[in-house]
Amino acid sequence: MSASLRVGVIGVGRLGSLHARHLAGFDGVTLSGVYDIDTGRSAVVAREVGTTAASDLDALLAGCDAVTVAVPTSVHAEVGLRALGAGKPVLMEKPLAATLGEADALCALAERQGRQLQVGHVERFNQAIRAARPHFGDLRYFECTRLAPFQSRGTDVAVVLDMMIHDLDLILHLTGGTAVTEVRASGVAVLSPHEDVATARVEFADGAVASVTASRIARTRVRALRMFQTDGYFSLDLLQGRGEFMRLRPEARFGQPARLEDAVEIVELSTPPADALALELGSFVNAVRGDEEVVATGREGRAALALALRVSEAIGASPAVAV
């Protein structure tokens, strides 16, 4: 590899164009080019970030050391396999693939090639999660709410794969990959061919429980996460990147005192602000250089996909919901 890591971006819709803008500003990185099947869009983004619009995917792959991929989920496997087959490390936007078979193929090829495969579970870099991390203990219960106004982008898949998978990945990550023992879920399609609203209850072998809700037909945007452990609980606003840890006072006893504020101390969670996507892309660059481990590996992305598909199956098995 050259001293300046050459990174290409495949797919320059809303998210891919953000990839390109961040990478164009990184020290020690050359944005070697962008490619999109919409050649007009590719040309516009290339001009905006000062790079070239590749004529085809092979041309992009020939001129880079690594790629980020932000194409529709239905072609994640096709594009990822071509990039990995060309020997390029890949940052694949979530979900890793559309099916477990495709995810397995991507993971297997990355391992055979000895190339990094990272999945874009960007909430791992959320400011609130980074601030809360030093206080994490034995997390036992999770309440996740993720709401967004409707937009056509992302409706090629159900809300579980579009939005809920962010929280499912976080839960799997924070529980250390403990086996899932039961999933119950329900959902309904309202404005798209797939479920636009879904709720799930996930139980783990160690007794941990998660209650997860996602909707892409809300009037306001919400990304809230509450987590409970034996010495207190977290209330995190992932949208604003802030939160609190209500830490149980050592002298507190069951049944006493009468007021919550006498039983807990409120720890305001803070950490230096930083763009989560920029941190994610930086972590990928560092992993390709060998300076740090991959965050959200292909296998972890596969686990998040497996749980998301299990939620979708549970929705399919639940009684129909009238709208």
Digit-coded pLDDT (tens) for 211-256: 999 999 999 999 999 999 999 999 999 999 999 999 988 776 666 6
Judge whether 323 lies within some domain: no
Q: Are residues 174 and 313 in the same domain?
A: yes
Looking at the fold, whether 67 and 192 belong to one and the same domain comes out as no
Q: Are residues 246 and 193 in the same domain?
A: yes
Q: What is the pTM of this model?
A: 0.92
302 occurs within a structural domain: no
As a whole number of angstroms, the distance between CA 158 and CA 186 comes to 12
pLDDT digits (tens, 9 = 90+) for 109-141: 999 999 999 999 999 999 999 999 999 999 999
Q: State which residues form the domain around 31.
A: 5-123+277-297
CATH number at residue 105: 3.40.50.720
Do 131 and 77 have their domain in common?
no
Cα 69 to Cα 274, 278, 285, 291: the distances in Å are: 22, 15, 14, 22
Q: From start to end of the chain, where are the E strands? A: 5-10, 29-35, 66-69, 90-93, 117-120, 139-147, 180-188, 197-204, 209-215, 222-229, 232-237, 242-248, 264-269
What's the total number of domains in the chain? 2
The reply to whether 146 and 23 lie within a common domain is no
Q: Which residues of the chain register pLDDT less than 70?
A: 1-2, 154, 252-258, 318-323
